[in-house]
Amino acid sequence: MSNDPELETWRREWRDPDEPLPNLKRKIKRQNLRTVAATIAMCVLLAITTVQALRTRGSFVSGMATGLWTVSLVAGSYAWWVRRGAWRPAAQTTLAYAELAHKRAVAKVRTLRFSFYFLLTAMAVCTAFSAWNWRTLSPRSVLMWAVLLAAMVAELFYFRHYARRKQREVEETRKLIEQIRQ
């Protein structure tokens, strides 16, 4: 009796359980680690700004800490809400991991869109506040506001670029799901 290597390969694959695509599984793990790292970084940033605001008692630092807390709560709540159902795969199958990747990509696009408009609104409020109080601002405060607004504009461009990239990922994962279902 001859030994057919292709037939043996088919037999092994048939016996093995349906294993998720390794790249997809690694991608999900990386996303989980990034989420944890971002949460820790945000908590550290909030703690530092709060301590600094309490220590210096300056209006700018207190306003910055209050603004960061507000933005964190609003944006974090929205991101948490939009990601519901996208925490872990429904099963340990390739299709479940592909669906999870798709849900996360869609959630990321929605979060980026929300963040873009939220930041645009924050820019308008900061600009209006600066214009309203321009006579009382010191040259250093004007410079700080200018740097802050420049950073916000740069972040707007980044959000747009990243949203386009994530939109392509949504399309790719949708195609992957369709291929797996066939």
Give per-residue pLDDT as tens, 43-98.
999 999 999 999 988 777 888 889 889 989 999 999 999 999 888 888 888 888 89
Q: What's the one-letter identity of residue 92?
A: Q
Rg of the chain (C-alpha set): 24
* pTM reported for the whole predicted model: 0.76
Range 102-108 contact pairs with CB under 8 angstroms and sequence separation of 24 or more: 102/170, 102/173, 102/174, 102/176, 102/177, 104/28, 104/31, 105/166, 105/169, 105/170, 105/173, 106/170, 107/79, 107/82, 107/83, 108/166, 108/169
In this model, does residue 12 exceed pLDDT 70? no
What is the rounded distance in angstroms from the CA atom of residue 19 to the CA atom of residue 72? Answer: 38
Confidence of residue 99 (pLDDT cuts 50, 70, 90): very high
For 102-154, the pLDDT digits (tens) are 999 999 999 999 999 999 998 898 888 778 877 777 787 778 888 888 999 99
Contact by Cβ (8 Å): 101, 174? no
% residues pLDDT > 70 (the chain) = 93
> How sure is the predictor about 33, in pLDDT bands with cuts at 50, 70 and 90?
very high
